[in-house]
Structure 1
Amino acid sequence: MDPIELGRRLRIAREARGLSQQAAADAIGVPRTAITQMESGNRAVSTLELTKLAELYRRPVTYFFEEAAPAEEEDVLVALHRVAPGLEQDPAVRDQVDRCLSLCRDGVVLETVLGLAARSGPPAYEMRAPRTAGEAIAQGEHVAHEERRRLSIGNSPIPDVSELIGAQGIWASGLELPNHMSGLFMRHPSIGLAIIVNASHPRGRKRFSYAHEYAHALMDRDHDITISSTDNSAELVEKRANAFAASFLMPRDGVYEVLRSLDKGLPSRQEQTIFDAASGGQIEAEARSAPGSQRITYKDVAIVGHHFGVSYQAALYRLKSLRHVSQPESVELLEHEDFGRQYLNALNMFKDVGEQEQRQYWDRELRSEIAHLAIEAYRREEISRGRLLELSKSLDIPGETLLELAEVARGE
């Protein structure tokens, strides 16, 4: 990179953040004249200095080395608060979101200094905008089936949805969002792809929200920010994402397998035709289930929900869409939701889907990824001790603890 061009981009990035040269110099621990010389192309910029400036200016390090001059992008926080102004109403919520996105930027910078390939995320499924609710549901279910096949997870429950999303190159975290908001998906040059869900919702609902936002990452990646809330739940792309989440978390054949394990799911009358070896013809037979034995009850719905880690209601609606329960039966079963909760409580199973996750686990997946990158960067001497201690504050890990872990890794 031409030092003049690098200096120009450093100046543009600084001015876009509204920082003076003195403020930038103070932030990274150099004299103001050093910033002046960097921006004029008269002084080399070290890897550590560039890493710090990239973080300060909220830019990926790659921004300063792209062959073509990068177009100016709206700051990720400004963009988010512009699209979701409700986040500004609660300072605690705003601070959580800001901290989460700052961690994502830290992750991008650390991956860059480690020489890791840029995150591309999962494949994007090119789907036309649905014109009807039926088309939206069909699209969502189709992509869910294809994604399960791509990931080779068969019909099994997904143990940790946020971990799966993270493995696909998407930053994933739970935060306390406004109650009417279930989650959001973001795509921005400074962070890549990110999903945030409302962790104040019960575990089962939070898992569904993760899958819902993952659908946006797969099918709506042309949108920089997608907010999922009660305000836009009637939109067809939201219906499509809900259909994806239901099918992705509770695959058709997987639901059938659970029902069969409960001795449910068969028609009350089964006609059978077998080959007759003696005559070369056929023998017709009919098998009947015991009266009422195949009826789905509240405890069956609760067990299906628990098996796939979703709420009672999500499991019920999935059973209805798969025609295991009728409309009148679904109304009655919905009224018996409390009995489903009591049933799971009696078995000490309700907390797995119905209770709120403890706060210290809300952003565990994201913090784990950044901590791993930070220790690895320190081990390779790509970041300093001071920078590691700065990251420990963002990670909410005692500085001495993170430093000790990093020193051990360096000495191995």
Structure 2
Amino acid sequence: MAVNIAHIAQRLQQTRLALSYTTDDVGTIAGLDVHRLERIEAGCETPTGDEILILASLYDCDFRTLIDENLPSPAQQTDILFRRYGDSFTPDDRRAIQEFLYLCQIEKWLEQQLLITHEAVDFKYSGPIFKDHGRQVAEKLREHLGYAENAVARDIYIDFRKLGIHIFRRKMVNNDISGLYIKDPVAGHCVLINYNEDIYRQRFSVAHEVAHAIFDSSEDALLTLQSSSAKYDKRDLKEIRANSFASHYLMPLSMLRGLPDMNDSQAIYWAQQFRVSTAALAKALEDNGFINRNKADQIRTVRVPRSEKIDPEVPESLAEDSKKRRLELLERGLTSHYVNLCFKAYEKGLISSGRLAEVMKVEYSELAQVSMLFGQNFSHDF
């Protein structure tokens, strides 16, 4: 197959620009001659195989997407997102999102190699009211997953991954970004949550973005901003529907209906039971007509202590040093689900130990420590 130099040049330049790298940046980080890189991007010189691999590693993409015209560009989805919401993303956030999508693609590939399938769910809904669509689908999904009417979804990350949705959490520079949903041509439904947010806010954000995956996947790329941002349109029916889904999934109507008239301590107790903020609890109760505005405002004044909030992906049984390390890895996007898939593929001989370190974005020397943190067995394959 003949190599299309112009195509490679275009993809290299498009990807670099999408990630806010200058040619000087790339030359410094990747150790490449800047003038040669410029000539490659101009289509005047052909990159070597090693240069393609180096650039693919820097750009967090499969090297084949830089050279194969039949594969989608590595910057295809991020380019759509950044053009639509460009001012919202710092260079670091752009690169974090690109890395997130690459992890989603690897996760999809690992699931395929391990023959993991996801059961399809019928998300039919009726009526003209968007807010009611969210409630109907939330109730159907809870029923599908076997939740009783009075049961709270504790680990919603596991719940939504059962649908085949790739969910990662990592810190973003722009704290106005709660999360985003992208329908990637390779990985499918991908959700990224800002780990800088309060743990319980993250739960609401992931349910919100999953709603976009369910209802709005034809949109390709959506960005959710915190409601305090001036860019957030409270009249957007799709956002209202996503919020309704998140609220009813986390706080089912059947449970809200039976709650007592709350004082401050009871408000904290029930917010903790639902694993939501008191503000989310107050809004759910008010929106469904169980309390008035004054009572809702009173509930919002109290808070679940941060030290008492529970993150299902960071086991409480871990020693403090181990917990700190797990948090560091989670902030970089390494979820328990993803790490377990990586080690399972390694144990089955589907990937080497070198590839294991590569897909987990850690140094080879860190593998033994990471395996212990996640309760995995690891032995060098050389």
Q: Following the alignment from structure 1 to structure 2, what is the Cα–Cα distance between the partners of residues 228 and 17? A: 28
Task: Answer yes or no: is 1:240 the counterpart of 2:247.
Answer: no
Distance 1:410 1:157, change over 3 A: farther
Q: Following the alignment from structure 1 to structure 2, what is the Cα–Cα distance between the partners of residues 111 and 394? A: 20
Distance 1:166 1:71, change over 3 A: closer
The corresponding residue for 2:316 is none
User: Deviation per CA, 1:70-119, whole angstroms, max 9, x where unpaired?
Assistant: 77786233233223313542x3333332322222222233344x2636x6
Identity %: 21
Asked if the contact 1:197–1:209 (Cα under 8 Å) also holds between the matched residues in 2, the reply is yes
Q: Which aligned pairs between 1:256-271 and structure 2 lie closer than 5 A? A: 256-257=257-258, 259=259, 264=260
CA RMSD of aligned residues (A): 3.9
The corresponding residue for 1:372 is 340
SS at match of 1:398: helix
Q: Following the alignment from structure 1 to structure 2, what is the Cα–Cα distance between the partners of residues 111 and 15? A: 32
The AA in structure 2 aligned to 1:372 is N
Asked if the contact 1:14–1:57 (Cα under 8 Å) also holds between the matched residues in 2, the reply is no
User: Deviation per CA, 1:218-270, whole angstroms, max 9, x where unpaired?
Assistant: 1111111111114233211101111111111000112244x2xxxx2xxxxxx
Q: Which aligned pairs between 1:295-314 and structure 2 lie closer than 5 A? A: 295-314=261-280
Asked if the contact 1:378–1:388 (Cα under 8 Å) also holds between the matched residues in 2, the reply is yes
Shift of residue 370 of structure 1? 3.2
The AA in structure 2 aligned to 1:211 is A
The AA in structure 1 aligned to 2:135 is E
The corresponding residue for 2:147 is 153
With normalisation by structure 1, the TM-score equals 0.65
User: Deviation per CA, 1:13-68, whole angstroms, max 9, x where unpaired?
Assistant: 85663377644345559xxxxxxxxxxxxxxxxxxxxxxx9822349xxx99xxxx
SS at match of 1:304: helix
| Structure ID, larger Rg | 1
Task: Answer yes or no: is 1:323 the counterpart of 2:289.
Answer: yes
Asked if the contact 1:144–1:245 (Cα under 8 Å) also holds between the matched residues in 2, the reply is yes
Asked if the contact 2:170–2:332 (Cα under 8 Å) also holds between the matched residues in 1, the reply is no
Asked if the contact 2:114–2:345 (Cα under 8 Å) also holds between the matched residues in 1, the reply is no
Q: Which aligned pairs between 1:37-116 and structure 2 lie closer than 5 A? A: 55-58=62-65, 75-89=76-90, 91-112=91-112, 114=113, 116=115
The AA in structure 2 aligned to 1:310 is V
Asked if the contact 2:183–2:220 (Cα under 8 Å) also holds between the matched residues in 1, the reply is yes
Q: Following the alignment from structure 2 to structure 1, what is the Cα–Cα distance between the partners of residues 369 and 52? A: 24
Distance 1:8 1:246, change over 3 A: farther
SS at match of 2:62: helix
SS at match of 2:164: coil
Tell me which moved more, 156-165 or 212-221. 156-165
Shift of residue 323 of structure 1? 2.4
The corresponding residue for 1:188 is 184
Q: Following the alignment from structure 2 to structure 1, what is the Cα–Cα distance between the partners of residues 209 and 135? A: 15
Unaligned runs of 5+ in 1: 1-6, 30-52, 265-294
The AA in structure 2 aligned to 1:218 is I
Shift of residue 157 of structure 1? 1.2
Asked if the contact 1:296–1:325 (Cα under 8 Å) also holds between the matched residues in 2, the reply is no
Unaligned runs of 5+ in 2: 13-39, 55-59, 312-322
Distance 1:27 1:365, change over 3 A: closer
Give the alignment partner of residue 125 of structure 1, picking from 116, 123, 126. Answer: 123
Aligned positions, number: 322
User: Deviation per CA, 1:306-361, whole angstroms, max 9, x where unpaired?
Assistant: 11000101101111223221234334x15xx34x33xx54xx875449xxx97536
Q: Following the alignment from structure 1 to structure 2, what is the Cα–Cα distance between the partners of residues 168 and 397? A: 34
Asked if the contact 1:183–1:196 (Cα under 8 Å) also holds between the matched residues in 2, the reply is yes
Asked if the contact 1:136–1:237 (Cα under 8 Å) also holds between the matched residues in 2, the reply is yes
Q: Following the alignment from structure 1 to structure 2, what is the Cα–Cα distance between the partners of residues 298 and 406? A: 47
